[in-house]
Structure 1
Amino acid sequence: MGSPGFNNGQQQQRLGITEPISLGGPTEYDVIKTRELEKVLILDVQYLQDAGLYENQQEAVSREEVLGRLDQIWVKTISRAKGLNEQLVQEANAKIFTFGSYRLGVHGPGADIDTLCVGPRHASRDEDFFGELHRMLSEMPEVTELNPVPDAHVPVMRFKFNGVSIDLLYAKLSLWVIPEYLDISQESILQNADDQTVRSLNGCRVTDQVLRLVPNIQNFRTTLRCMKFWAKRRGVYSN
């Protein structure tokens, strides 16, 4: 008899550290109930979208693009102020990543969008992120309720962008230029990083790890949305 988790002597990928409860596939009844559940979730989302309480994908992408452009301007501004040569000023950049429910694809109306700004080695957290970037955000008409929390365990800048709550973290890497296709899951990215940067990177790294480990992302999202929907209906989950 083969070990649990293996079929016909063929070794299969083990997900997690415990034995699977069952290796059986869904029954016809399971498939029918799943489709019924998906219809309920779709109707719930459609209702929220029709009521203007749930942003569409285009608005979400637009918001990320605006934040990305802002960070490019911010980094170039502080690079020039620090006396870097013009070539480094032009190459200086930052990148915006999302994480949490938004990155998982299960965010709901009114939920914060967790974002991470990854900046170069010469862009400091206190003086530049909570200083110059905070000033630039405060001058934008789209930004309201701007609230920097530099002393938090994970330092964060909280604000609303066109009415949508955003939590913006900052991670400073030991690089002059942030690569276009930066893989923040690599362990090497943590080299020479301070504790606040490691904690700020953790959200994105964990979210990406979850997405990599889940064998069926669509089923995972449906299940998670169902749990959030159940909790919201019972008043135990505000988002």
Structure 2
Amino acid sequence: MSTIIEWALRLWAVVLVVCAAVWVAVRAFALYFVPWQLTTSGPLDGLLSGLTFGAYFDDREVSRQFQELSESLTDLEAYNEAVAAGGPDVARWADLNVGWHVQIMDLTWLQNVTFIALHVVPLLALAWIWWALADIVRDSRRGSVFTEANARRLTAAGLLVLVGAPLVALGSWALHGWALAGSTLADRMTMPTFGLAALPWGLMAAGAGLIVLGVAWRRAVRLEHEVEGLV
């Protein structure tokens, strides 16, 4: 059973490397040989289309759109009467926040490289993690699972996930803002704020768990050596 698990992990690592290579090849081909095209959300959005992300209309654009909408409402007079009478309860006031998916077609060369890196580097990092886990499974089959090398593998994998995941999230947000600032929508839309809610807490918790496991693994290695010294 351990052999199947080991080779399944290695196969998945290879698949991730192939996916990274395909990402680079197809994206490069799309950059230089395929005309940009508008697409709906789908698996090819990041390959054959421009950069797609979420952004919000700024207050001026929202006010303009709301004014155009309100002029066609049948109950506009009732709404104005309510406003004249004191308006809605301030405690229950809700702001109009219109969002939309932005697709920027013409990225600069550096933006394209950053875009590719933000997709390819995580794939390669995950491939390394799966390969390292396969090595641990192999060592367990050979009866030497508690080793310093395996402790280092677990700790390195944990650090990679704990630090890498928020960096990728922050990098993606920064790239989206960078691309939006140079687009024709720069004066009408704004990026959402990058806050704690935008962090990949699940992945970060998994990374922290791997680090703790690596520390415990290293302690187990020392205990095993101490027991062997007493025999």
* TM-score under structure 1 length normalisation: 0.28
Tell which structure's C-alpha radius of gyration is larger.
2
Higher helix share: 2
* TM-score under structure 2 length normalisation: 0.29
Q: Larger relative CO (CA 8 A, sep 6+): 1 or 2? A: 2
